[in-house]
Amino acid sequence: MDKLYSVTELARDLGVTPRTVRFYEDQGLILPQRAGNTRIYTHRDRARMILILRGKRLGFSLKEIKEFLDLYVVDTTQVEQLQLLATKVRGRIALLEDQLLAVQTSLTELRDIERMTLDALRSKGVNSA
């Protein structure tokens, strides 16, 4: 336990590139210790990275993730943080629900187009595979 990681190790461990990890630092999302110039990551940093990646996977922007993680540090009771999280999550849910509808609409329209296209091809004597 208390394993320490280099950028490369941490990155490989999490399935991202070192460039990405450094980029997140640039954006203020993580602040590893240094040994001289070399970045040193603890298991806490690793956990933080995992949170970041989870946020990304769920569609949050790096800015939103930062905003959220920043609160985590400041807000010891975590009430404010949880409230922000709840709000953001609800927003995201609403957005995804819209997106779901949009995708379904597009799918319908595309399937219509596909059918018409194949009909047109058949009427020209071309049979589709």
Q: Which of 84, 83, 88, 19 minimizes the C-alpha distance to 60?
A: 88
Choose the contact partner of 74 out of a copy of itself, DNA, none; CB within 5 to 8 A by kind. none
Q: Does residue 31 interact with a copy of itself by CB under 8 A?
A: no
36: Cα within 13 Å, side-chain hemisphere: 2
Name the one range near DNA by CB under 7 A: 34-42, 68-76, 82-90, 91-99. 34-42
The 10 Å Cβ neighbour count of residue 5 is 21
Q: Per-residue string for binding with DNA, 81-110, x by CB under 7 A?
A: ------------------------------
Cβ proximity to DNA: between 43 and 63 the closer is 63
Tokens encoding 47: 């956990």
What single-letter amino acid sits at 32? P
Choose the contact partner of 16 out of a copy of itself, DNA, none; CB within 5 to 8 A by kind. DNA
Q: Measure the N-to-C terminal CA separation of the chain; round to a whole number of Å.
A: 57
Choose the contact partner of 90 out of a copy of itself, DNA, none; CB within 5 to 8 A by kind. a copy of itself
Q: Does residue 30 interact with DNA by CB under 7 A?
A: no
* Residue 22 Rama label (left phi>0; alpha psi -120 to 50; beta): alpha
Please give the sequence-ordered ranges of beta strands (E in DSSP) within the chain, or none if there are none. 33-35, 38-40
Per CB under 8 A, residues contacting a copy of itself are 57-59, 77-79, 82-83, 85-86, 89-90, 92-93, 96-97, 99-100, 103-104, 106-107, 109-111, 113-114, 117-118, 120-121, 124, 126, 128
